[in-house]
A and B are shown apart, each in its own frame.
Chain A
Amino acid sequence: MSQDALLLVEGLKVIFPTDAGIIKAVEGIDLAIHPGECLALVGESGCGKSVSSLAILGLLGTPPALVRAQTIRFDGQNLQALNEQQMAQIRGKDIAMIFQDALTALNPVMSIGRQLDEVFLKHCGMNKSQAKEASIEALRAVGVSSPAQRYRQFPHQLSGGMRQRVLIAMAFAASPKLIIADEPTTALDVTIQMQVLEELRAMQRKSGTALMLITHDLSVVNYLADRILVMYSGKIVETGPVKQILKRPAHPYTEGLLTSVPRLDTCNTRFYQIPDQVPNPMNKPSGCHFHPRCSHAGELCKQTVPSLRSLSPQREVRCHFPLQKGEGGDSQHA
């Protein structure tokens, strides 16, 4: 199965040494994305999901971070063996990123148009006027009104939703094979979120680009993704197809996440919250990192870190006492 993966990451680990201690941001995660697939990486803030994506693209500087990975392979190429110049060729062209807060993610003193042009000029071998045309067309394609006018404007002159669309346009510009979207709608108003998400989904379907969606918002996951990876405190705790996991989560954390989503169709008087707080990345609990907050925790959980185990051909879970027993009995590697 991992043979035809577009992006294959195995054993990714990221730490940040500081004089107060070592921050263990990512503790050995594996992921695989196939062409055209949409994979969601889900977790609370601070669980290491953004750091993972930056690490894959080599955007974490070596101070302050230390990155190790067994494999980071994209389209057959070993990304770890590439130097900065070669990575720059891949970034934006084969793998693109969409960041969370479009206001800070865009250069405030450069016009939108120029920032879009940059991608076309560098990766598509166009000249200035071709790039301009392409940029305006790209703006139109993401649903930005009066694109020719917007082309000349600056980020602060656009609304939040429009800025996010610009980021989407920038990502799709060079027709990359994979787009990593880090919380693409979190900074937006709820009403705008839907529009932008639809835009994203439409573009992804149309171009067949693989999408790695990083988010903490489960409704977004439901709308866009095919598979989910749930991350907690630097480790992947559950993987599987979206529909199955959302219906029958296997890991207590996933269950907690689902329960805390407020629902309009039931009449609860209180909102559910997973008790306590996300663990301090410098000082993590022993054994399973989730055990202090887990209502199903047992003695074993305090002592031993559970391994990631298959529940079914398509699902894995990292838990000593998972909530689901898995379909069909014994595990099988696909």
Chain B
Amino acid sequence: MPPLNQTFAALGDATRFAIVDHLLSQGEQSAGQLQQLTDISPPAVSRHLKVLRLAGLINQRVDRQKRIYSVNPAAIQAVNAWVEYHRKFWDSSLDRLERALDMEGLNNG
């Protein structure tokens, strides 16, 4: 899988984010269906889809003449793992902060 920073960079764009969000809620979509999401030109949509594909966020398959796109769950889960890792990191640190503050309060009180 590509490094996470590529994943985050790809999602930093509002149009690309909207595409991923739409695929998450609607499941597989053809390029034509995704085109209807935005006002931008088909070539621009194609470029966004390519960025998302290279970042590992979406998968592409070809069904006869159509290109069909879907979300790559592993990439989304990697983003989710980033959040969970840092939540644990900070929760544990903040527990220690709270104890240090309480200790200081006792010493001064």
Partners in one complex: no
Interface residues of A (CB under 8 A from B): none
Interface, chain B (partner A; CB < 8 A): none
